[in-house]
Amino acid sequence: MVEKFIMAGDTALHVCDSEKGEKCVLLLHGYLENMLVWEEFIPLIYKSVRVITVDIPGHGISEVKGEVHTMDYLADVIVGAMDSLGVDRACIVGHSMGGYVALDICERYADRVSGIVLLHSTPNADSEEKRANREREIALVKAGKKELLAKTAPEAGFAAENRKRYASVIEDLVEIVHLTEDGGIVALLGGMIERRDQNDMLKRTFIPQLFILGRKDGYIVESVAQTMIETHPQAKVAWMENSGHMSFIEEPEACATALLDFVESL
């Protein structure tokens, strides 16, 4: 993997690129993460496909631009990165928040997307309750209490029975939260609050779709996941039986197999 900074439009973006492979997979991390979350997953897929990871603006060491990072802005940045890296089309894999960005790319740049993988993500807009929770998180960060997010969010991503086994990974994720710029967290929370419902778009689009879901996901519980599957019969589905919200860490081999089988079919 070649690590570098590029300009994606007018945004300085931190990327890693394996640079080799006929088909390209672009991995978009979730909220309170950065590209380092893919570190152990990439070796499972990079021999089969070109792999690109990015620090989504607001997280990692990519640039923070403004008070709100809308999904439209983030989609523009990712497509700008594809332009800079010479990638015509890619399978966009979005983990959680990264899935929201991937959906926006599908909506506005469909010709650049060979397939979309919603990895523990959903086309649903925020509920009123979820928006209120995000507003509370914004208030915490602005009050200088980011450590409260660090104490709870990373651990909550894992199935309860996996937390002890992945304690060191959770510690790394906690450190990522501490290192993330406050303004970047606020900007991304604001963008998630504003995002559009993408269910109709996902039904209409010609882009092949895969949902990777965790049986023990505390964020997208099984009943919500089942409704999503029923709403989108056009999508392929892979259940990770022993995972929470982080199957690419909790069940990396099974997750990689599901992803590569999907990419092979494109």
CATH number at residue 182: 3.40.50.1820
How confident is residue 248, by pLDDT bands cut at 50, 70 and 90?
Answer: very high
pLDDT of residue 52: 98
Are the beta carbons of 23 and 263 closer than 8 angstroms?
yes
DSSP 111: G
Which percentage of the chain shows pLDDT scores above 90? 100
116 vs 105: CA distance, rounded Å: 9
How confident is residue 207, by pLDDT bands cut at 50, 70 and 90?
Answer: very high
pLDDT of 2-29, one tens digit each?
999 999 999 999 999 999 999 999 999 9
Domain that holds residue 253: 2-265
The average pLDDT across 237-265 equals 98
pLDDT of residue 261: 98
How confident is residue 126, by pLDDT bands cut at 50, 70 and 90?
Answer: very high
Which residue reads 């928006």 in tokens?
131
Biggest distance spanned by C-alpha atoms of the chain? 48
The average pLDDT across 17-46 equals 97
The average pLDDT across 210-228 equals 97
194 vs 160: CA distance, rounded Å: 31
pLDDT of residue 120: 98
164 vs 170: CA distance, rounded Å: 9
149 vs 178: CA distance, rounded Å: 9
pLDDT of residue 56: 98
Hey, what are 217's tokens?
A: 């996901």
Mean pLDDT of the chain: 97
Domain count, the chain: 1
pLDDT of residue 33: 98
How confident is residue 32, by pLDDT bands cut at 50, 70 and 90?
Answer: very high
157 vs 163: CA distance, rounded Å: 9
- Integer-rounded Cα radius of gyration of the chain: 17
